[in-house]
Amino acid sequence: MTSREFQDRLARRAKRAGVTLVPGMAARLEAYFRLLETWNRKINLTGFNLPELAPETLDRLLIEPLVAARYVPAGAAIMLDIGSGGGSPAIPLALAVPSIRLLMVESKTRKAVFLREAIRTLELRDADVATSRYEELLARPELHETNDLVTIRAVRVEPRLLSNLQAFIKPGGLLFLFRGATAADPAETIPPPLVWSATYPLLESLRSRLVVLAKRPVGRQRST
C-alpha cells in the first residue's frame, strides 16, 4: 500500500470518528505504524495483522487514542503510560497533544528498545522509556505525584493496581483507563483518593470507552 493510500484510509477512519487530522499528523502516524509493522515481524508487539490494515487495526492503534486526546485537560504537561508495549495509545496520544511530556513504562527489554526507536524516528523530544515494571518505579519518590495524566490499556483493573497507580498522579490529576467492549467499569472498586470522574465512548466500531478517574486533592478527600 502506498503512502497516499494509507493516509487516505487513515483520514477516512478519522473522519468517521469525528477526528480532524492536523497538517502533518497523518504522515507521523503512518511513520509510527510502518515502524510498528517492521518490528512486529521480529518481536510480538501487537496481535493485529498489520499488513492487512483492517479498519479495526487502524481504529484501535491510531484513531482511538486521537479520540481520547479530546479529554486531556488543557495545561496537562506530564504523562505516564503503563505497560506501553507497542506504543499505543501512548504515542498517538502524545502526537495529538505535542505539549505533553511522556514517560512510557515497559518491562520487556525488546519492546522498550522499539519504543526508543519510535521516539527517535518520530522526533518526540519530550518522551522517554523506563525499562521496568511499574511496581519498581514506586520506590522512586521523584516520580510520586508528578503526573497530570496516567494512562493504561489492556490490563485487569483491580483496587490494588489503582491504589498503586494513584501514587504517580498529582492531586487533581487524572487516570485514563482504556476499556474494551467486555471490560467492566471499576465503579465499585475505586480506592480513595481516586474517584470516578467520567466515562466517555471512544469508538462505536470497537464499542470501546474511556473511564476517567480523578485524584481528589487532599483538602477535598472525604473523611472516613
Distance CA 64, CA 41 (A): 23
Whether pTM exceeds 0.85? yes
In 3D, which of 87, 86, 92 has the Cα closest to residue 13? 92
Sequence letter at residue 90 = A
Q: What strands, in cross-sheet order, belong to the sheet with 209-215?
A: 127-130, 101-105, 78-82, 147-153, 169-179, 209-215, 194-201
- State pLDDT tens for residues 104-150: 999 999 999 999 999 999 999 999 999 999 999 999 999 999 999 99
Q: Please, what are the domains in the chain?
A: 3-220 (3.40.50.150)
Confidence tier at 1 by pLDDT (50, 70, 90):
confident
Share of the chain above pLDDT 90, in %: 89
User: How deeply is 123 buried, as exposed, middle or buried, from its count of CB atoms within 10 A (0-12, 13-18, 19+)?
Assistant: exposed
